[in-house]
Chain A
C-alpha cells in the first residue's frame, strides 16, 4: 500500500478528486433516500449540474421540452439515468484530457472507457445486476493509466519491448518497469477519493477478477466490458492486446465464451449510446 501511495504522491499532475460521485454512490446505497438530498449533493458542483442538464437535453437523451433545472431533469429521466449522467460527466473530466504515454491519441482513452462501460452495463442488465455500479466502475477502470502515463512518457518504448520480447501482459510489464501497475494504482486512487469498497476492489483487480473477492462479480463485468471494447477496436496504443485471458470472469457470471460474440453485437447495436457519451461536453 505504501508504495502505491508513494507513487501517487510523486505524480505532478494529480487529477482533482471528484467529490459528488463517491458521496452519491454511498447515498444511493442506502434505503429511503430523500430526493432533495440527491439534488443538494449534485448542485454542490454547479458545473457538474450544468453538464448533467445539458446532457439530459442532448439529442440522444433529450425530451421534447428541455429541462431547466436538476429537479426537472430527475422527474423527467428518473434517478437511475441521472446517476449515470453524473458518473459519465465525472469520468469524462478525468479520462478525456489529453494523456501522454501508452501511445494514446486524443480521445482514445475516453472512447475505450465509454465502450467498456456500455458493454458491461448491457451484460449487467441481461444478468440482473446493478447497472449503475457496473457502468460507473467500467467507466473509471483505467483511471490508473492517467497516473502511470506521466511516468511512462520516457520509457514507453521499453514497456513495449518488455511485452514483445518476454510475452508479458501490460500489467506485468508495468510492474517490472515502474514497480506498480495501472489497475492497483487506480484502485488505490479511488480508495483515497472515498469510492465504495466494491468499486475499489473491482478496479484494483480488473485484470485478475477472482482476486477481487467478495466483489468478483463486479470485477468480472469490468474485465469482460474491457475485453469487448478491445475486440471491437476501441483500444489504444501499440500491443494493445497484451491482456491475459481469464476464463474465471465468465465462470463467475455463469457465462461461456459463446456469450462474448453476443455481447459484442449488443454493444455494436448500442453504438448511439457510446457516441452520445463520447461526445459529452462538446
Chain B
C-alpha cells in the first residue's frame, strides 16, 4: 500500500522554502515540496514522539547574516540549530533523534560555480556530528527534484521523486 493511501492527505502540514517546524501532533504528516538543490532534513524522536522538518535553501548563514537572523530556516547551520532547539523544547532528546536527509540536486557542472546542491549536502554532513546527530537514511544529489514527508504517528519518512508516480519509504 502506498503512503498516500495509508495516511490520507487531510492533515498535512506544509513546510515552505526556508522554513522549519517541530511538532508533537501525531495526526499530521509534515511535508515539504520540490526541494531542488535545497536540502530537506527530517528528525524524529521515537520515544518522545516529537518530529520536525526543515527546508533549507543555502549552506551557510555567513552568506547573509541579516537574513539568517530574520529567517534562520534559509540556511543549514541556523536552520538545523533552530529545528533541533524547537524539537528539544517539545521533549525530544538529541541522542534519540533519527535524522533523514533528502534533496541537494546538482546540475551537470565541472566548473563548480553551480554547486549549490553539493555544498548544501557537505554543509549538512559537517554540521550534524557537531550537533550530536547521525543520519539514519538519505536520498541526495543526482538530477532529481524531491518532495519529503514525515508521518508523525509512525516516524516514517517518505520520498516522492518528481516525474515518478509513487512515494517510497526513505
Q: Which residues of A contact B (CB under 8 A)?
A: 103, 160, 163, 167, 169, 227, 230-247, 250, 256-257, 260-262, 264-265, 268
Residue of A169, A233, A239 touching B34 (CB-CB under 8 A): A233
Q: Which 7 interchain pairs have the tightest Cβ spacing?
A: A238-B163, A245-B109, A257-B113, A233-B36, A233-B34, A103-B163, A241-B143
Known: A233-B34, A241-B143, A247-B113. A261 touches B63 (CB 8 A): yes
Q: Are B36 and A230 in contact, with the CB atoms below 8 A?
A: yes
Q: Which residues of B contact A (CB under 8 A)?
A: 17-18, 33-38, 57-58, 63-64, 67, 74, 105-117, 142-145, 161-164
Known: A103-B162, A264-B58. A241 touches B105 (CB 8 A): yes
Closest to B111 in A: A247
CB distance from B145 to the nearest CB of A (A): 5
**Apart from A234-B36, A240-B144, A268-B57: 10 A-B pairs, beta carbons within 8 A:** A235-B36, A236-B145, A238-B162, A241-B107, A243-B108, A244-B107, A244-B109, A245-B108, A257-B113, A264-B57
A231-B36 Cα distance, complex, nearest whole Å: 5
Contacts of B109 in A (CB 8 A): 244-245
Q: Are A268 and B113 in contact, with the CB atoms below 8 A?
A: no
11 inter-chain pairs at a CB distance below 8 angstroms, sorted by A residue, are A231-B38, A231-B116, A235-B162, A238-B144, A240-B145, A242-B143, A243-B108, A244-B107, A257-B111, A257-B113, A265-B74
Contacts of A169 in B (CB 8 A): 108
Mostly, the A contact residues are loop
Residue of A235, A262, A265 touching B145 (CB-CB under 8 A): A235
Contacts of B34 in A (CB 8 A): 233-235
Residue of B18, B33, B74, B107 touching A243 (CB-CB under 8 A): B107
CB distance from A17 to the nearest CB of B (A): 31
A227-B117 Cα distance, complex, nearest whole Å: 12
Contacts of B145 in A (CB 8 A): 233, 235-236, 240-241
Closest to A168 in B: B108
Considering residues B37, B57, B143, B162, which has the most beta carbons from chain A within 10 angstroms of its beta carbon? B143
Contacts of B163 in A (CB 8 A): 103, 160, 236-240
Known: A167-B108, A237-B162, A257-B112. A268 touches B74 (CB 8 A): yes
Closest to A239 in B: B143
Mostly, the B contact residues are loop
CB distance from B148 to the nearest CB of A (A): 11
Q: Are A240 and B57 in contact, with the CB atoms below 8 A?
A: no
Known: A169-B108, A233-B36. A260 touches B116 (CB 8 A): yes
Contacts of B144 in A (CB 8 A): 238-241
A230-B67 Cα distance, complex, nearest whole Å: 21
Known: A239-B144, A245-B107. A261 touches B58 (CB 8 A): yes
Contacts of B116 in A (CB 8 A): 231, 260-261, 264
Contacts of B164 in A (CB 8 A): 238
Contacts of B37 in A (CB 8 A): 230-232, 241
Contacts of A234 in B (CB 8 A): 34, 36
CB distance from A109 to the nearest CB of B (A): 13
A242-B163 Cα distance, complex, nearest whole Å: 13
Q: Are A265 and B67 in contact, with the CB atoms below 8 A?
A: yes
Contacts of A247 in B (CB 8 A): 111, 113-114
A244-B110 Cα distance, complex, nearest whole Å: 9
Closest to A102 in B: B163
A169-B143 Cα distance, complex, nearest whole Å: 10
Contacts of B67 in A (CB 8 A): 265
Closest to B165 in A: A103
Contacts of B143 in A (CB 8 A): 163, 239-242
Q: Are B114 and A245 in contact, with the CB atoms below 8 A?
A: yes
Contacts of B58 in A (CB 8 A): 261, 264-265
Q: Are B57 and A245 in contact, with the CB atoms below 8 A?
A: no
A103-B33 Cα distance, complex, nearest whole Å: 16
Contacts of A265 in B (CB 8 A): 57-58, 63-64, 67, 74
Closest to B116 in A: A231
A257-B35 Cα distance, complex, nearest whole Å: 20
A163-B64 Cα distance, complex, nearest whole Å: 35
CB distance from A81 to the nearest CB of B (A): 26
A250-B36 Cα distance, complex, nearest whole Å: 21
